[in-house]
């Protein structure tokens, strides 16, 4: 494992990102504020469309050719309906020059029963995968196939699809070896399941989410960015996986939480202030 370079910045990411050179970031894994769902020590009053447009625009500048941004986001519910801000952000990213490479979902295994009296419970958030050109790295998360029929078959017919001319065609799947998982990642969430400091930050996403996305879209020695560092989950995963990391956090209290977590995480790398 390489010795990672960890660069943490406290301040407004719209300003601090200007310090990052063009085309120098291989992967961004981040989760911006979701409309008005959290106050973030009062800092969410500074959040709005003009801010996320600036951030996404600068993300395109700092991302290397073939680099990827994983933008984990959800929408607030106002007057009984969702705001649709997440879709506006994805469309803006495309206007900035990103490809909408994949629309993934982060499914919560034990979501709180929220969603309104006339809506189904909200169980997922989006993980938009934006790429600057064709992704240069893809290390898919794999699972082992299991032959639950306990016979000697090596493949089976799973279903049917249609050709362009409308004819049916069998879909055969192997019963041996490994296969890519789907683009819906499922995690247990809630107090104590993301990080041990979960009660100190109102919206820490699961450690494994950051781990899985970093493995998927980067290699050891690559540079990972999180402009909304929060409690430092992306930084911890990056350090554990032998990646360089740049983290930016506006709130000083959250910055200190992240700094402490990253500084004390197990890694062969060196922590640099």
| Cα dihedral 82/109/213/184 (nearest 10) | -70
State the pLDDT at residue 162. 66
User: Could you tell me if residue 270 is inside a domain?
Assistant: no
Cβ contacts of 233 within 8 Å, gap of 6 or more: 194, 195, 204, 205, 206, 207, 209, 210
How distant is the alpha carbon of residue 89 from its chain centre? 14
- Which of the pair, 215 or 83, is modelled with greater confidence? 215
Phi-psi region of 42 (alpha: psi -120 to 50; beta: other; left: phi over 0): left
Last residue of a domain, one of 155, 180, 205: 180
Residue 273 per-residue DSSP state:
-
Last residue of a domain, one of 154, 180, 206: 180
Structural domain of 158: 143-180
The CA distances from residue 204 to 47, 54, 199, in Å, are 18, 23, 9
The Cα-based distances of 14 to 40, 88, 125, 129, 132 in angstroms read 17, 19, 24, 21, 20
Q: What is the CATH number of the domain that holds 80?
A: 3.40.50.150
DSSP 8-state code for residue 230: T
Return d(Cα 194, Cα 24) in angstroms, integer. 29
Mean pLDDT score, 203-211: 83
pLDDT tier, 48 (very low <50, low <70, confident <90, very high otherwise): confident
Is 272 inside any structural domain? Answer: no
**Is 253 in a helix, a strand, or coil?**
helix
pLDDT for res 81: 85
Same domain, yes or no: 129 and 161: no
Confidence of residue 174 (pLDDT cuts 50, 70, 90): low
User: For residue 224, what is the enclosing H or E element?
Assistant: strand 223-226
Asked if pLDDT for residue 158 goes beyond 80, the answer is no
Chain mean pLDDT for the chain: 83
What's the whole-number mean pLDDT along residues 183-212? 70
- Classify the phi-psi angles of 272: left when phi > 0, otherwise alpha if psi is within -120 to 50, otherwise beta: beta
Residues 206 and 110 placed together within one structural domain of the fold: yes
What's the rounded Cα separation, in Å, for the pair 143 and 176? 11
Whether residue 113 is found in the same domain as residue 153: no
Instruction: Verify that 185 and 197 share a domain, yes or no.
Output: yes
Do 48 and 97 fall within a single domain?
A: yes
Total Cβ atoms within 10 A of residue 237: 25
Within a domain: 269: no
More reliable by pLDDT, 155 or 60: 60
Q: Does 39 have pLDDT greater than 50?
A: no
- Over the stretch 107-117, which tens digit does the pLDDT of each residue have? 988 766 665 67
Q: What is the longest distance spanned by two Cα atoms in the chain?
A: 62
Span of 19-23, 36-40, 236-240 with lowest mean pLDDT: 36-40
121 φ, ψ to 5°?
-60, 140
Number of structural domains in the chain: 2
Q: Are residues 30 and 129 in the same domain?
A: yes
The pLDDT value recorded for residue 237 is 95
Which run of H or of E encompasses 108?
strand 99-108
Burial class (CB in 10 A: 0-12, 13-18, 19+), 154: exposed
Q: Is it the case that residue 249 has pLDDT exceeding 90?
A: yes
């Amino acid at each position: 494992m390489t010795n990672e370079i960890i660069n943490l910045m406290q301040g407004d990411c719209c300003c601090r990102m200007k310090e990052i050179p063009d085309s120098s970031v291989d992967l961004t894994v981040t989760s911006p504020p979701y409309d008005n769902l959290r106050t973030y020590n009062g800092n969410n009053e500074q959040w709005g469309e003009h801010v996320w447009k600036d951030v996404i625009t600068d993300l395109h500048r700092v991302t290397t050719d073939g680099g990827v941004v994983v933008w984990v986001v959800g929408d607030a519910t106002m007057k009984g309906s969702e705001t649709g801000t997440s879709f506006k952000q994805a469309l803006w990213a495309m206007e900035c020059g990103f490809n909408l490479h994949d629309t993934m979902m982060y499914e919560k295994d034990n979501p709180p029963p929220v969603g309104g009296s006339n809506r189904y419970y909200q169980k997922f958030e989006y993980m938009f995968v934006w790429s600057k050109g064709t992704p240069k790295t893809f290390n898919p998360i794999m699972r082992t196939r299991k032959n639950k029929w306990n016979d000697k078959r090596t493949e089976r017919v799973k279903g049917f699809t249609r050709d362009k001319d409308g004819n049916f065609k069998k879909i055969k799947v192997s019963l041996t070896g490994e296969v890519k998982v789907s683009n819906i990642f499922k995690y247990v969430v809630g107090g104590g399941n993301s990080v041990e400091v979960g009660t100190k930050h109102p919206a820490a996403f699961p450690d494994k989410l950051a781990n899985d996305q970093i493995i998927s879209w980067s290699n050891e020695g690559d540079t990972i960015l999180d402009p909304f560092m929060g409690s430092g989950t992306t930084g911890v995963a990056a350090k554990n996986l032998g990646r360089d990391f740049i983290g930016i956090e506006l709130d000083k209290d959250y910055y200190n939480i992240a700094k402490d977590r990253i500084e004390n995480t197990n890694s062969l790398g060196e922590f640099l202030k």
